[in-house]
Amino acid sequence: MSLVLRGRVVTPAAVLEDGAIAVEGDRIAWVGPAADLPAGLAVPEPSPAPRTYLPGLVDLHCHGGGGASFPDATDAGTARRAVAEHLRHGTTTLVASLVTADADTLVARTALLADLADAGDLAGIHLEGPFLSPVRCGAQNPALMTEGRPDVVRRVAEAARGHLVTMTVAPEVAGVGGPEGVAAALAAAGALPSYGHTDADDATFAAALAEARGLLARPGARSPRPTVTHLFNGMPPWHHRAAGPVPAALAAAARGEAVVELVADGVHLAPGTVRAVFSLVGAANVALVTDAMAAAGMPDGAYVLGPVRVLVRGGVARLAGTEGAPDGGPEDGTPFDQRPIAGGTAHLLDVVRATVAAGVGLVDAVAAASATPAAVLGRADVGALAAGRRADVVETDADLRPLRVLRAGAWVAA
């Protein structure tokens, strides 16, 4: 029996103000104007309250939610709690992110998350570190950051069993680049280098992106394009006499040679910054991400993110210690708003809503949270409301707040 949904439908090309989606089993059978619904399918009456339908969202960078943290999970139940938190809010395809830790911890956490990926709960695994710049450590512990070690990449990739999607690395760190470096080991394992937490100059950053494109040109690569981890955050700002990584990343994305992540949650980036990036590079080269940690969907309070303590106030997560005490030292009087941001607390649908509020069109904002990240994953079965795709649909109200979520043709428990 077919399920037919009717309302405002966001397709890859347009917004259908009176559209319909027909679902057969776990697949989308048809999408189009409600007036053109194929014969044999009953046209539902329009809902008294406006409904908007988006494709299931795809988050490439998420550390947790619902009080659970992927970097700290030691059992499947804890990790699944984070997955469920984001699924209920419209993220039907989720990549779990770890943070800088010692090699044994990274391997153990990766193996645990690979079990969830085998079960279909996760779409893959992302490692944010440990081959990062201590100068741009953000909310991670610089004492655990090391030079590039391809042997660690190979250990993690073996534990991931094909589910390692990306790893954030700083291109200026010794051992990251070159024919025997970390980036090469990632490509050989079927994963993508994602450049970030870096203090590189523009030439070094541009060269790393070019090297990665060469490494990913091999047949069977997940994607031919490297990514940039949360552009602007964890890197020097664009100064007119010291360009840094930002213009190199934007130029590569504008050429279609890289995908830049944006944490467009209203905290990490100003609305004008978000609007400008979309205007400069286009939605096909932007992946909206949450960078969410355990506090997503939870009240203000104290949380952990790997080895660091995090304090959340007003929905904003920052280190509980000072910048000089990234292991989470005691409160010492440093003003809260001067401490490093420690991940996000938003769901990806919240990020879409904030992006639209920043002045980005709904079609582009949705594509950057669905079609573009799906392409990074190498997935042609998710990321759009189109016939043949997996039946992942997010039903929202007129203000893009979640009402119901359909994943693979089944409604998700509220």
> Which CATH number belongs to the domain containing residue 104 in this structure?
3.20.20.140
Q: What is the pLDDT of residue 220?
A: 87
Asked if 93 contacts 83 with a C-beta cutoff of 8 angstroms, the reply is: no
Give the chain's mean pLDDT.
95
State whether 64 and 29 are in the same domain.
no
Nearest alpha carbon to residue 383 among 10, 5, 1, 21:
10
State whether 323 and 335 are in the same domain.
yes
Domain range enclosing 36: 3-54+383-411
State whether 22 and 113 are in the same domain.
no
State whether 392 and 357 are in the same domain.
no
Q: Give me the number of domains the chain comprises.
A: 2
Instruction: Please state, in angstroms and rounded to a whole number, the distance separating the CA atoms of residues 385 and 30.
Output: 9
Instruction: Please state, in angstroms and rounded to a whole number, the distance separating the CA atoms of residues 127 and 252.
Output: 23
Task: Please state, for a pLDDT cut of 70, what percent of the chain lies above it.
Answer: 97
Q: Is the pLDDT of residue 37 over 80?
A: yes
Nearest alpha carbon to residue 161 among 122, 101, 222, 118:
118
Q: Is the pLDDT of residue 324 over 50?
A: no
Q: What is the pLDDT of residue 327?
A: 42
State whether 50 and 149 are in the same domain.
no
DSSP E strand stretches across 246-296:
259-262, 286-288
Q: How confident is the model at residue 326 (pLDDT cuts 50, 70, 90)?
A: very low
CB atoms within 10 A of CB 42: 8
Q: Bridge partners of 227?
A: 194, 259
Instruction: Please state, in angstroms and rounded to a whole number, the distance separating the CA atoms of residues 86 and 20.
Output: 25
Query: How would you classify the pairing of strands 52-55 and 3-10?
Result: parallel
State whether 361 and 348 are in the same domain.
yes
Q: How confident is the model at residue 338 (pLDDT cuts 50, 70, 90)?
A: confident
Phi, psi of 76 (to 5 degrees): -65, -35
Nearest alpha carbon to residue 349 among 391, 392, 312, 313:
392
Element of type H or E holding 365: helix 362-368
State whether 48 and 187 are in the same domain.
no
Instruction: Please state, in angstroms and rounded to a whole number, the distance separating the CA atoms of residues 141 and 68.
Output: 20
Hey, what are 413's tokens?
A: 């428990």
Hey, what are 93's tokens?
A: 């395809």
Helices 245-254 and 271-281: crossing angle in degrees, nearest 10, is 40
State whether 40 and 70 are in the same domain.
no
Phi, psi of 351 (to 5 degrees): -65, -40
Q: Is the pLDDT of residue 1 over 70?
A: no
State whether 172 and 317 are in the same domain.
yes
State whether 221 and 88 are in the same domain.
yes
Burial of 65-103, coded b for 16+ CB within 10 Å and e otherwise, reads bbbbbbbbbeeeebbbbbbbbbbbbbbbbbbbbbbbbeb
- The amino acid sitting at 351 is V
Instruction: Please state, in angstroms and rounded to a whole number, the distance separating the CA atoms of residues 230 and 220.
Output: 26
Mean pLDDT of 44-70: 95
Q: How confident is the model at residue 331 (pLDDT cuts 50, 70, 90)?
A: low
State whether 173 and 280 are in the same domain.
yes
Helix (H, G, I), strand (E, B) or coil at 54: strand
DSSP state, residue 204 = H
Phi, psi of 179 (to 5 degrees): -65, -25
Q: What is the pLDDT of residue 76?
A: 98
- The amino acid sitting at 189 is A
The more confidently predicted of residues 329 and 283 is: 283
Phi, psi of 201 (to 5 degrees): -80, 175
> Which CATH number belongs to the domain containing residue 27 in this structure?
2.30.40.10
Query: How would you classify the pairing of strands 15-24 and 27-33?
Result: antiparallel
pLDDT in tens, 3-26: 999 999 999 999 999 999 999 999
How far is C-alpha 124 from the geometric centre of its chain's CA atoms?
Answer: 11
CB atoms within 10 A of CB 403: 14
Q: Bridge partners of 54?
A: 394
State whether 63 and 50 are in the same domain.
no
> Going edge to edge, which strands form the sheet with 410-411?
27-33, 15-24, 3-10, 52-55, 393-396, 402-407, 410-411
Q: How confident is the model at residue 336 (pLDDT cuts 50, 70, 90)?
A: confident
Which pTM does this prediction carry? Answer: 0.96
Q: Bridge partners of 304?
A: 309
